[in-house]
Every structure is written in structure tokens, then in C-alpha cells.
Amino acid sequence: MKLGMIDYGRGNLHSVINACQALGHEPVLVTKPTELADLTHIIFPGQGAFGDCMDSLNRLGLTKALRDWIAADKPYFGICVGYQLLFEASEESHGTAGLSIIPGTVKRFTSSGIKIPHMGWNSVDLKTPDSRIWQDFENDPYFYFVHSFYPVGVPSDVISVTCEYGEENFCAAIEKGNLFATQFHPEKSQHAGLKLLGNFLNR
């Protein structure tokens, strides 16, 4: 396998690179479409605003390349904004279209009495426990979250896990074929996060 990591100038690259190296993989950075050619897996680590990230992808010419990669059912792991960009739009950046791979819109938390951003450890409820991505996991594993927005209108057949925060029970990960993406940060989630990344890389 050959692992690539999308570098759009804003992602939390170093932590994700360190996690991959701990698993015995050395990712190469991807900043233009031609660099996807020889890859077998890609990770899209997320950090930053929805609109800024889409602007960066468009500027680098990576928008169509990522759509084509996912349409070909090649292994993709999106993290945080790399998860949110898979949807059609976000309240964070009105007028900016996402990759529109999965139906749904990203909205801000509205529950009263909660801290925003949602930051810290939270358990998740596995909806696809028999999937290879969740191999050797028991239900209700804990992962580390840092976000103020989450997707709504997500088709039930792609929801991989949900998470409760305040009054909202939101979709915290999706899976469709070889596409997998999470709102939480596996690279900050210690043993559980490494296990999840390992399951993706070894699929």
C-alpha cells in the first residue's frame, strides 16, 4: 500500500502523520491531483473553517480529484473538516458548496446549557459493529472531539456511529464502501484511535 495525506495548508498534519508512523506507515503529502496517481489510501485530516478548506481544495485543483477518487471506491479516511466537507453545505460558510458526496448539511449545535465547541472525550454508539473498520471494538468506545458543527439529514444507510451531546444525537462517522470519515479525531484518541486507523489501513 501507499498512503497519501491531503495537505491543503490547514490540516492537523503532524499528529496524524505521527499516528500513521506509529502504525508502521509513512504517508506522503498530497498538494496536487497528479500526486494521487500512485496511492492506494488517502487520509484527509481536518482543521479550519468549511469555506476556507473548500477554497483551498478548489485552488489546488483537488476538488474533482477527490470526487473521482471516492467515486472509484478507493480507500478514503476523512477527519473532522475532512468529514464535514463530504456533505453538501455548511451553516459555517453560507454559499459554499461542499464535495457533495453524501446528502446532508452541516449545522451548528443549538442545545442550551452546553459548551461550544464540543471538546473532549465522548462515547459513540456503533451502528455498524460488524464492519471491518470496527473489528475488535466493543460498543461505546471513547474518542476525542473538537467541533462546533455536525451534519444533519444524513442517510441512515451510511451512518456508522452516533454520539450524544446536549439534546442532539448526531452522526459522528459515516461509512460507504471504502469511504470512512469521522467527526472525532482518531489521532488524538490514544489506543482506540490507533486501532481505528489501523483497521482502515489494513482493510
53 is an active site residue: no
Q: What value does the CA radius of gyration of the chain take, rounded to a whole number of Å? A: 16
41 is an active site residue: no
Instruction: List the one residue out of 46, 55, 52, 40 whose CA is nearest residue 4.
Output: 40
Residue 48 per-residue DSSP state: S
The single residue of 80, 118, 147, 175 carrying the catalytic annotation is 80
Q: For residue 117, say if its preceding peptide bond is cis, omega within 30 degrees of 0.
A: yes
How many CB atoms within 10 Å of residue 108? 13
Please, what is the end-to-end C-alpha distance for the chain in angstroms? Answer: 11
Dist. CA 3–CA 192, nearest whole Å: 20
Please tell me the number of Cα atoms within 13 Å of 192 on its side-chain side: 18
Is 172 within 8 Å of 133 (Cβ atoms)?
no
164 is an active site residue: no
The catalytic residue positions are 80, 185, 187
